[in-house]
Amino acid sequence: MSAPVRHYVGGGFDTSGDPFPLVDPVTGRTVGEVPSAPVEVVDRAVRAAREALRGPWGTWSPADRARALHRIADGIERRFEEFVVAECADTGKPRELAAGVDIPRAIANFRAYADLLAGRSEQSWHTATPDGRGALNYTVRKPLGVVAVISPWNLPLLLLTWKVAPALAMGNTVVAKPSELTPGTACLLAEVTAEAELPAGVFNLVHGPGADAAGQWLTEHPGVDAIAFTGESGTGTTIMRAAAARLAPVSFELGGKNAGLVFADADLDRAVAGTLRSAFTHSGQVCLCTERLYVERSVFDAFAERLADGTRALGGYGPMISAAHRDKVLGHLAKAAADGEVLAGGGVPSFGDERDGGFHVEPTVLRGLPEDHPTVREEIFGPVVHLAPFDTEAEALALANAGPYGLAATVWTDDLARAHRVAPALEVGIAWVNTWNLRDLRTPFGGVKASGIGREGGDHSLDFFSEPMNVCVKL
């Protein structure tokens, strides 16, 4: 790792707390240690954030804050290689993914919200009154206060900055807790915020697990005014209970069991190539990845054969994040092999080098499982996609919309009318037609059902991280 793992509280670094091992998922070796923040450090971070709200940060104008976000983006750019190295070391993802997506997107997050903030306006109304003189009503956006940001291990910097940037833009202070498995880029971000001359306490960072540790103490802290979380749906339920005790607002991006639909009129070559990306990017460890694929029966066999061939030809994929997660994925594959058919993959690759000690799983294509099978119903979050045929458009929609999740979906068709008919009928927060993971940072992002609460992106994030106040002036 390029940076030591330290807490950052009130403008200073420390390593308080009992350490736990940091493991390289590529080799399975222990490569460092992470301090687990004691409750006293979490409390100190929240108090530092509260003090910063009352201090200089509270006097900064939107233009001042926008300039600060640009300085943070500049700082990440200057240390780009350090961030790439840390991201790859923590997650095991291929360098081209970290350097081509994760770190550039983190920079873009700060720049996008700085620019949105600079161009943002509030509403005003002239209101008639009985005396004919009227009144002026206008809105003022005020920060929520101290925001807890809890981010996951799969896209550590991207998803952390996706929340930190708009929270800071609207004048909040932040206490961040990254996944205990991937602390590296968060530590570098703390250094960059210090270099960007943010007042002490505006950005704070604590490390540790969730239950009975930093995550729980942060979400239950009475000094935390709002919580932004990305992670597993069950954890979201636990956090929501903690927030409910003090009616703190929450923004949740949770799990998914995303479906794809391939119609017979689709360009199969493009659909296969797109599915290889949507199923296996970052070894399936992206909340948007496709785990269920429904293919029109007339092209099912041809598509399955092409997808299996493409899957076997994949190279350069990374490991699962941990031994426990690898074992979870392999457990699903064992059940699937017993009850269905494995078209490609299904096991653990052999490299003949130090990677054999890591947590790799082969990209896998399955078919033949019933819709109520655990591998089809439960989120796996690994390089696994199950194929099933459909006969009608109505059946395809019913299959895609079944289940508790509703984050994202893909539709592959060359019929424009069908695309516009099917995509809005999907019970998801985002539907892609003839593409996958094509993002505009101004658009709403989030899920329905067990996949989340609220929307992130553009003005949606700025609205969440602020409270509108109405001012009425009698003229």
For tokens 């498995």, the residue is: 181
* 143 CA to centre of own chain: 23
Can you say whether residue 458 is alpha, beta or left, with left for phi > 0 and alpha for psi between -120 and 50 degrees? left
**Residues 121/111/228/55 CA torsion (nearest 10 deg):** -70
Q: CA–CA separation, 105 vs 119, rounded Å?
A: 21
Query: What residues are labeled active site?
Result: 253, 287
Query: How far is residue 58 from each of residues 52, 66, 107, measured CA to CA in Å?
Result: 7, 14, 24
Helix (H) or strand (E) holding 166: helix 156-169
Closest CA to 143 of 65, 245, 43, 222: 65
> For residue 289, what is the DSSP state?
-
Quick check: 365 and 385 in contact, CB under 8 A?
yes
b/e for 262-288, b at 16 or more Cβ within 10 A?
bbbebebeebbebbbebbbbbbbbbbb
Q: CA–CA separation, 141 vs 144, rounded Å?
A: 9
Q: Residues with Cβ < 8 Å from 95, sequence gap 6 or more? A: 84, 88
Residue-wise DSSP of 100-157: IIIHHHHHHHHHHHHHHHHT----EEEE--TTS--EEEEEEEEE--EEEEE--SSSHH
Instruction: List, in sequence order, every residue forming a beta bridge with 364; answer none if it has no partner.
Output: 384
Q: Residues with Cβ < 8 Å from 395, sequence gap 6 or more? A: none
